[in-house]
Structure 1
Amino acid sequence: MGEIVVEAEGLTRKFGGVVAVDGLSLSVYRGEVFGLLGPNGAGKTT
C-alpha cells in the first residue's frame, strides 16, 4: 500500500431525522481512482 491521500473513519451524516451515512470508513491511496455515485439531488457534494 502507498500513501493515503483521503481518509474517513466512522463518518455519519444525517439530514433532519434521516441517517444518510452511518459509520462509513474508507481510505483512498495515491494513484487510486475513487467515484461517488448517486442520483441528482442526493447530496453528493454536501
Structure 2
Amino acid sequence: MSCFRRGYLVIKAAFLNHLTLPQAGFFPEPWPSFIPQLNVSQITLSSA
C-alpha cells in the first residue's frame, strides 16, 4: 500500500470517528534487502 493511500485512510478514519488528526511524517517502507542476481551469458560474434 502506498504511503499516500495509508495516510489518506488514517485521515479518513479519524474524521469518521470524530478524532483529532494524527501528527505524522512521511516514512516510506524500506527497500527489499535482497539483491536479485542477474545471469548474463557471454555472446560472441564470429565472422562468417
Q: TM-score range by the shorter chain?
A: under 0.3
Higher helix share: 2
TM-score of the two chains, using structure 2 as the length reference: 0.24
Larger radius of gyration: 2
Q: With CA pairs under 8 Å and 6+ residues apart, which has the higher RCO, 1 or 2? A: 1
